[in-house]
Amino acid sequence: MPHLRSARFQVHQNLVGSLPAPSRTSLPERPAFQRALLRWYETHQRSLPWRKNGNPYRILVSEFMLQQTRVETVIPYYERFLKRFPSLRDLAKAPLQEVLKAWAGLGYYARARNLHEAAKAIVREWGGKIPRTKEELLLLPGFGPYTAGAVASLAFHQPVPALDGNAKRVLGRLFPEQCDFSRMSAKKQADEFLAGWIPPRRAADFNQALMDLGAMVCIPSSPRCTACPVFRFCATKGKIPKKKRVVRKVREEIWAVALVEKDGKFLLHRKEGRGLLSGLWQFPSVAVEKNQGKRGNSQDPGKLLEKYLREDFGLETRIKTSLPEQEHLFTHIHALMKPYLGSLAGTRPSFPNSGSLRWVGASAFSRYPISTAMCKIAALVGS
């Protein structure tokens, strides 16, 4: 039956020809990739305080602090925070104001509020034990896919991806087809791709190795390819594609800020609700239109402050002297702050009893959670 065998052979050849070519990083090569990366990590891993004993609470705190903030900036804040709140229960039972005070200067204060809420939820709903799986962690306040994956992986060795900025850069260069982060769907696709590469018994080491490789070798510009332990798996071989430059939109704002003095103390109030600087103490301030204060416009910043203090605080004040302007750059706002010294006028009551209003001496400002922006204003009246 030579003719029949020949026909079957031809069909087989056609089927084989229609299959995709095997990937250079196909399944048999994954152990080699894992071994090379983990051997490098054992020798070159970064010494970071939250890695020292694998304590889940310490890892949780570090992951909240590391959101949008560099490692070297986080470390001193992390160490001070852990001295003040050495355990999850200590954090959960602390007043929010103490948490914000310990966080002051690190910025992005929603992280502190979410961390505090998560700690309270863990004590209330989980008996003080941090959930172990990514799915359970996602139920907590402030936990997105990355933070949940990082805590599950680094604290509990769950074999789930934890892609921070450094790890994303490494994967985007090693496997650009599977991990093209310029596309909206890339995160889910990269998670699914990476899940098959994580060694189940060394999930924490594997994820941290990718992070460290991106931080020390596969850096944003001029990557150190000769020092890369997985260079032979790299599709780009150090050729970095040009990225489309993303211009961050920053809104320009002008704030009039009142330093209202009474018997050597100044008025502070705590901003309620959500949004920028909420939960923090600050000097009364009001946004100023750019054309206010010019000739022909009676609504100058001083008058606006007097109106604001009267309507919102029940205070009759007299704004006297302007102080040197200060600037502060938030993520999306460039604030030009125009501070003014003022005093009480008339005999009306200072203000109704309220836990969100205080007269505070300059030497006591440091006892309150005040934003870095408002610290610049506080410095103008001495200590």
What is residue 131's predicted lDDT score, i.e. its pLDDT?
96
CATH number for the domain including 360?
A: 3.90.79.10
pTM over 0.75: no
Q: Is 266 exposed, middle or buried (0-12, 13-18, 19+ CB in 10 A)?
A: buried
Where a domain ends, among 201, 233, 265? 233
Sign, CA dihedral 101-323-334-253, equals positive
Residue 351 has pLDDT above 60, yes or no: no
What pLDDT, on a 0 to 100 scale, did the predictor assign at position 241? Answer: 64
Q: For residue 353, what pLDDT band results from cuts at 50, 70 and 90? A: very low
Q: Are residues 163 and 273 in the same domain?
A: no
pLDDT in tens, 74-84: 999 999 999 99
Say yes or no: 220 and 257 in one domain: no
Statement to judge: residues 228 and 309 lie in one domain: no
Residue 339: per-residue pLDDT: 87
179, 201, 233 — which closes off a domain?
A: 233
Instruction: Classify residue 283: in a domain, yes or no.
Output: yes
* 320/137: higher pLDDT: 137
Q: Is the pLDDT of residue 242 over 80?
A: no
pLDDT band at 6 (very low <50, low <70, confident <90, very high): very low
Q: Which of 127-131, 193-197, 232-236, 367-371 has the highest average model confidence (pLDDT)?
A: 127-131
Does residue 285 surpass a pLDDT of 70?
yes
Q: Which amino acid is at 24?
A: R
| 63 is annotated as an active-site residue | yes
Let me know whether 188 and 269 are in one domain: no
The verdict on residue 10 lying in a domain is: no
Residue 5 lies in a domain: no
Based on the fold, state whether residues 168 and 257 are members of the same structural domain: no
Whether the pLDDT of residue 217 is over 70: the answer is yes
Is the domain of 181 the same as that of 287?
no
Residue 86 forms part of a structural domain: yes
3 in a structural domain: no
pLDDT digits (tens, 9 = 90+) for 87-120: 999 999 999 989 998 998 888 888 999 999 999 9
Radius of gyration, CA atoms only, the chain:
28
Same domain, 267 and 194: no
| 131 and 214 belong to one structural domain | yes
Structure-block tokens of residue 213? 């490789």
**165-169, 219-223, 290-294: lowest mean pLDDT where?**
290-294
Q: Are strands 265-270 and 251-262 parallel, antiparallel or unpaired?
A: antiparallel
Task: State pLDDT tens for residues 319-335.
Answer: 888 888 888 887 788 88
CB atoms closer than 10 angstroms to residue 272: 9
* Judgement on whether residues 330 and 365 belong to the same structural domain of the protein: yes
> Is there a domain that residue 238 lies in?
no
Does 85 share its domain with 173? yes
Residue in 29, 42, 63, 72 annotated catalytic:
63
Residue 6 belongs to some domain of the structure: no
Question: Cα–Cα distances in Å, from 259 out to 155, 342, 381?
Answer: 46, 6, 9
Measure the CA–CA gap between 277 and 376, rounded to whole angstroms: 15
Average predicted confidence (pLDDT) for the chain: 82
Same domain assignment for residues 71 and 33: yes
- pLDDT of res. 94: 95
Give the residue numbers spanning the domain of 59.
Answer: 27-233
Residue 18 confidence class, pLDDT cut points 50, 70, 90: very low
Residue whose C-alpha is closest to residue 266's, from 328, 307, 309, 327? 309
Cα–Cα distance for residue pair 253/256, rounded to 1 Å:
10
SS3 23: coil
pLDDT, residue 24, reads 43
- Count of residues in the chain: 383
Give, in order, the Cα–Cα distances in Å from 216 to each of 63, 127, 167, 203. Answer: 19, 39, 11, 20
Domain count, the chain: 2
Residue 52's Cβ-count burial label (10 Å; 0-12, 13-18, 19+) is exposed
CATH number at 94 reads 1.10.340.30
Domain boundary among 233, 259, 281: 233
Instruction: Kindly tell me if the per-residue pLDDT of 362 is higher than 80.
Output: yes
Are both 205 and 260 inside the same structural domain?
no
